[in-house]
């Protein structure tokens, strides 16, 4: 037996002949905060529903504590879910909502009472026992949904885009609230979101998914600093995505320039994708960088300026604390270790733009 | 301003044509005179004669039994039907919705004759055929009362119940049923009123010697209108009114 709390082995799932998940493998350890991240339709919610028992995979198995629970009904799993739209029972008050799972498990009245008190305190809503769900704000409903799930002492708490319906400020408050809760409860969280910032802030481990496939698994820092392909690079944070050719170890060519980098082990003249983060592009006097260009656009973003510089036939996105006026001539430079080089993805896999636009309109 | 005036005229006309005749009927049922034109003082004579009339009392009993029984059975079947329709995919869903709508819009006389011709082949006409007929025309009303409530339910509410340890049966009884209860109640009460005030379908599917209030009234009136029939009609009207008000209250509960 391994030390994994949950293992997904070769999970595939299709709806109406449309493949949603392909041979998904995923291991989750006890007490981890794991985030499934990806654009809509990437299979993240389906994965969560398979763990919760609401969908059966077409192939593959779900192993929980070393036991195969693939066919186990949701009510028999030591896993609880916080649903996207909270799914509180509208005909019950807060207290009855929280007590629902405990009553079914035939816990004593005193036990239930204590649990309700404890849970409401934990989510900072004591005194709300008799309120009806529809008299609560979105953030309060969300916290009741969390309280209702955790009183059952699950080993894994599943959260399906729980903050999606909240406004920005509330969302940020709830993010730190969730991290606090997780540390206090010491249980495993599996969190689904399409919001990369949320994922980077909260997770111990991020699973980036796209088109039913896991693209990359790693810590937030791994994923941001060392994206394994162009999709991950583009989905997580802003980036400049260039096509290039590896001339030799530590020497890459892009935009017609030969540039020193730190990557090794690619074939000679192998075509590659190159990712450069906007904050890693340095602006120098003309002639003192890799390529010369002209500032086309500048936006004040509070903490820094966001500039577009056309250089070498490519529009560079640049974050800098110094403003360069539109029209000024500059030269761009990138330190070798800030140049991320990745094997090229199939063209067919590069559909992210349209996917991500759909996401914003949801 | 003009809108307001027209609104008032409209309401006035409705009151006049719909309710004035009923008010006249009710007033006449307390009239101590056989004349329809003269007020002979207040009396409960027609009501007491009515209650002494065994044909009328039998019919009252039959009407109530029929209404309650057919409404209960139609509510159970309609609930199952609504759940099934709600779970259907788009195409079947539209077909079933249409199939449910047609009996409601179909002319009662067609429904009545059709049911009679169909059932007479294997059942003697009587209470049982009336009951089947009433269940049949009640089911669509129940379905259309429950379906909207089912559609308002977020599937994840049911899944949340499962997630919290309820098996499918428990999740259904403890979560789905309470949420759609106002729809079930109003569907049931609507079915009661539909059964109470049906005449045409009842007339065709009843057997000899079995009467409901509406068929008794019809039968009596053919022999000349007696004041007792005014009181009987008043009773029927009040029964329907009471159940209808209850039904409206039940469906309003959900909105709150």
Q: Tokens at residue A63, please?
A: 């192993």
Query: B22-31, long-range: CB within 8 Å, 24+ apart, which pairs?
Result: B22/B237, B25/B230, B25/B233, B25/B234, B25/B237, B26/B230, B26/B234, B26/B237, B28/B227, B28/B230, B29/B227, B29/B230, B29/B231, B29/B233, B29/B234, B31/B227, B31/B230
The reported pLDDT for the residue numbered B253 is 62
- Phi first, then psi: give them for residue A82, nearest 5 degrees: -105, 115
CB atoms within 10 A of CB B255: 6
Q: Looking at chain A, which residue has its C-alpha nearest residue B253?
A: A91
Does the beta-carbon distance from B163 to A75 stay under 8 Å?
yes
DSSP assignment of B192-220: HHHHHH--HHHHHH--TT---HHHHHHHH
Nearest to B202 by CA among B141, B118, B134: B134
* Minimal CA separation from A16 to chain B, in Å: 12
Nearest to A210 by CA among A349, A354, A9: A349
The reported pLDDT for the residue numbered A13 is 93
The reported pLDDT for the residue numbered A362 is 33
Nearest to A115 by CA among A151, A78, A162, A75: A151
Query: Which residue of B90, B157, B160, B170 to mutate against A (max A Cβ within 10 Å)?
Result: B160
B165 touches chain A (CB under 8 A): yes
Alpha carbons B256 and B233: distance in angstroms, whole number = 35
Nearest to A20 by CA among A39, A43, A38: A43
> Please, are residues B190 and B142 in contact by the beta-carbon 8 Å criterion?
yes
Residue-wise pLDDT tens digits, A260-274? 888 888 888 888 989
Domain boundary among A225, A260, A294: A225
* Minimal CA separation from A23 to chain B, in Å: 26
User: A83 with A182, same domain?
Assistant: yes
Nearest to A85 by CA among B149, B166, B253, B158: B158
Tell me the β-bridge partners of A72: none
> Please, are residues B197 and B252 in contact by the beta-carbon 8 Å criterion?
no
The CATH number assigned to the domain holding A271 equals 2.40.50.140
User: A298 with A334, same domain?
Assistant: yes
Query: Which residue of A83, A103, A134, A146 to mutate against B (max B Cβ within 10 Å)?
Result: A83
The reported pLDDT for the residue numbered A355 is 42
Among the partner residues A80, A83, A149, nearest to B156 by beta-carbon distance: A83
Q: Tokens at residue B35, please?
A: 């004349």
User: A48 with A125, same domain?
Assistant: yes
Alpha carbons B30 and B227: distance in angstroms, whole number = 9
> Please, are residues A58 and A13 in contact by the beta-carbon 8 Å criterion?
yes
B11 touches chain A (CB under 8 A): no
Which residues of chain A does B174 touch, with a Cβ-Cβ cutoff of 8 Å? 100
User: A261 with A132, same domain?
Assistant: no
CATH class for the region spanning B47-255 = mainly alpha
> Please, are residues B140 and B103 in contact by the beta-carbon 8 Å criterion?
yes
Provide the number of structural domains found in chain A: 2
Residues 42 to 81 of B: which have CB under 8 A from any A CB? none
User: A296 with A245, same domain?
Assistant: yes
User: A27 with A71, same domain?
Assistant: yes
CB atoms within 10 A of CB A222: 14
What is the C-alpha end-to-end distance of chain B, expressed in Å? 32
The CATH number assigned to the domain holding A190 equals 3.40.50.300
pTM over 0.90, yes/no = no
Residue A141 placed within a domain: yes
Does the beta-carbon distance from B160 to A75 stay under 8 Å?
no
The reported pLDDT for the residue numbered B29 is 87
**Which parts of chain B register pLDDT below 70?**
1, 251, 253-256
* Minimal CA separation from A139 to chain B, in Å: 18
A340 has a pLDDT exceeding 80: yes
- Among A169-173, A337-341, B185-189, B196-200, the minimum mean pLDDT is found in A169-173
Residue A280 placed within a domain: yes
> Please, are residues B75 and B191 in contact by the beta-carbon 8 Å criterion?
yes
Alpha carbons B204 and A28: distance in angstroms, whole number = 70
The reported pLDDT for the residue numbered B184 is 93
Alpha carbons A205 and B69: distance in angstroms, whole number = 61
Going from the C-alpha of A213 to that of each of A47, A349, A359, B1, B198, the distances in angstroms are: 11, 11, 18, 65, 62
At residue B125's C-alpha, the angle toward residues B77 and B81, to 5°, is: 10
Residue-wise pLDDT tens digits, A76-131? 999 999 998 889 999 999 999 999 999 999 999 999 999 999 999 888 898 999 99
Among the partner residues A73, A90, A100, nearest to B164 by beta-carbon distance: A100
Residues 6+ positions from B23 with CB-CB distance below 8 Å: none
The reported pLDDT for the residue numbered B67 is 94
User: A252 with A321, same domain?
Assistant: yes
> Please, are residues A354 and A210 in contact by the beta-carbon 8 Å criterion?
no
Helix (H, G, I), strand (E, B) or coil at A272: strand
Nearest to B227 by CA among B72, B89, B53, B4: B53
Report domain extents, chain B.
1-33, 47-255
The H-or-E segment that residue A116 falls in is: helix A109-122
- Domain ranges, residue A122: 6-225
ipTM over 0.95: no
Does the beta-carbon distance from A87 to B175 stay under 8 Å?
no
A351 has a pLDDT exceeding 50: no
The reported pLDDT for the residue numbered B103 is 85
The alpha carbon of residue B82 and the mean position of all alpha carbons in its chain are separated, in whole angstroms, by 18
Helix (H, G, I), strand (E, B) or coil at B23: helix
* Minimal CA separation from B254 to chain A, in Å: 10
The alpha carbon of residue B71 and the mean position of all alpha carbons in its chain are separated, in whole angstroms, by 8
User: A206 with A258, same domain?
Assistant: no
Residues 6+ positions from A308 with CB-CB distance below 8 Å: A295, A296, A297, A298, A315, A316, A317, A318
> Please, are residues A214 and A24 in contact by the beta-carbon 8 Å criterion?
yes
User: A320 with A205, same domain?
Assistant: no
Residue A357 placed within a domain: no
Place of tokens 């063209």: A347
Tell me the β-bridge partners of A34: A190, A205
Residues 6+ positions from A97 with CB-CB distance below 8 Å: A88, A89, A133, A144, A148
Query: Which residue of A73, A93, A100, A153 to mutate against B (max B Cβ within 10 Å)?
Result: A100
Among the partner residues B162, B164, B178, nearest to A152 by beta-carbon distance: B164
Which residues of A111-212 form beta strands (DSSP E)?
Answer: 156-160, 188-193, 205-210
User: A266 with A319, same domain?
Assistant: yes
* Mean pLDDT for all residues in chain A: 88
Does the beta-carbon distance from B157 to A90 stay under 8 Å?
yes
Residue A55 placed within a domain: yes
Does the beta-carbon distance from A87 to B154 stay under 8 Å?
yes
User: A221 with A244, same domain?
Assistant: no
Nearest to A194 by CA among A14, A48, A16: A48
User: A20 with A161, same domain?
Assistant: yes
Among the partner residues A84, A91, A104, nearest to B170 by beta-carbon distance: A104
Nearest to A49 by CA among B105, B42, B159: B159
Domain boundary among A190, A225, A260: A225
Among the partner residues B156, B166, B175, nearest to A75 by beta-carbon distance: B166
B175 touches chain A (CB under 8 A): yes
A-B Cβ pairs (cutoff 8 Å, strict): 61
The H-or-E segment that residue B139 falls in is: helix B127-152
Q: B57: phi > 0 → left, psi -120 to 50 → alpha, else beta; which?
A: alpha
CB atoms within 10 A of CB A79: 25
Residue A152 placed within a domain: yes
């Amino acid at each position: 037996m391994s030390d994994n709390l949950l293992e997904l082995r070769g999970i595939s799932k299709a709806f109406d002949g449309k493949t949603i998940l392909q041979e998904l493998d995923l291991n989750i350890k006890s007490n981890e905060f794991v985030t499934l991240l990806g654009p809509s339709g990437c299979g993240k919610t389906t994965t969560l529903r398979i763990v919760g028992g609401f969908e059966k995979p077409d192939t593959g198995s779900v192993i929980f504590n070393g036991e195969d629970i693939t066919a186990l009904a949701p009510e028999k799993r030591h896993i609880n879910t916080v649903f996207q739209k909270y799914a509180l029972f509208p005909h019950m008050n807060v207290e009855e909502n929280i007590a629902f799972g405990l009553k079914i498990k035939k816990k004593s009245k005193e036990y239930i009472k204590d649990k309700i008190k404890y849970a409401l305190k934990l989510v900072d809503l004591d005194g709300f026992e008799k309120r009806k769900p529809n008299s609560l704000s979105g953030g309060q409903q969300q916290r009741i949904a969390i309280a209702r799930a955790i009183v059952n002492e699950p080993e894994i708490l599943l959260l399906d885009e729980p903050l999606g319906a909240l406004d920005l400020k509330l969302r940020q408050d709830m993010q730190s609230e969730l991290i606090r809760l997780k540390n206090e409860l010491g249980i495993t969280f599996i969190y689904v979101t399409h919001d990369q910032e949320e994922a980077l802030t909260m997770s111990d481990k991020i699973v980036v998914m796209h088109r039913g496939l896991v693209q990359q698994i790693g810590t937030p820092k791994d994923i941001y600093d060392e994206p394994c392909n162009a999709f991950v690079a583009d989905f997580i944070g802003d980036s400049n995505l260039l096509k290039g050719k590896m001339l030799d170890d530590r020497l890459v060519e892009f935009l017609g320039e030969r540039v020193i980098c730190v990557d090794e082990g690619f074939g000679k003249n192998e075509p590659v994708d190159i990712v450069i983060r906007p904050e890693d592009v340095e602006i120098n006097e003309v002639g003192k960088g890799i390529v010369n260009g002209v500032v086309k656009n500048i936006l004040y973003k509070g903490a820094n300026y966001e500039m577009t510089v056309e250089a070498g036939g490519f529009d560079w996105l640049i974050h800098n604390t110094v403003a360069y006026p539109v029209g000024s001539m500059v030269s761009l430079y990138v330190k070798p270790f800030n140049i991320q080089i990745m094997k090229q993805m199939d063209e067919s896999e590069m559909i992210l733009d349209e996917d991500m636009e759909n996401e914003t309109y949801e | 301003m003009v809108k307001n005036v027209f609104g008032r005229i409209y309401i006035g006309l409705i009151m006049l044509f719909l309710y004035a005749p009923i008010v006249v009927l009710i007033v006449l049922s307390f009239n101590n005179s056989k004349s329809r034109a003269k007020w002979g003082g207040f009396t409960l004579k027609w009501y007491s004669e009515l209650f002494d009339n065994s044909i009328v009392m039998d019919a009252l009993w039959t009407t109530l039994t029929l209404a309650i029984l057919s409404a209960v059975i139609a509510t159970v079947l309609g609930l199952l039907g609504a759940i099934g329709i709600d779970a259907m995919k788009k195409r079947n869903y539209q077909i079933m919705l249409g199939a449910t709508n047609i009996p409601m819009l179909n002319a009662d006389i067609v429904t009545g004759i059709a049911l009679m011709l169909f059932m007479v082949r294997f059942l003697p006409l009587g209470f049982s055929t009336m009951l089947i007929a009433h269940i049949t025309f009640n089911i669509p009303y129940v379905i259309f009362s429950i379906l909207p409530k089912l559609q308002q339910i977020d599937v994840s509410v049911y899944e949340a119940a499962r997630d919290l340890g309820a098996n499918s049966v428990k999740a259904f009884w403890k979560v789905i049923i309470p949420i759609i209860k106002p729809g079930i109640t109003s569907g049931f009460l609507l079915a009661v009123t539909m059964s109470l005030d049906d005449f045409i379908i009842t007339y065709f599917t009843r057997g000899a010697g079995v009467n409901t209030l509406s068929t008794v009234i019809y039968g009596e009136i053919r022999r000349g209108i007696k004041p007792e029939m005014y009181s009987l009609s008043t009773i029927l009207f009040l029964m329907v009114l009471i159940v209808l008000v209850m039904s409206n209250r039940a469906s309003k509960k959900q909105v709150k």
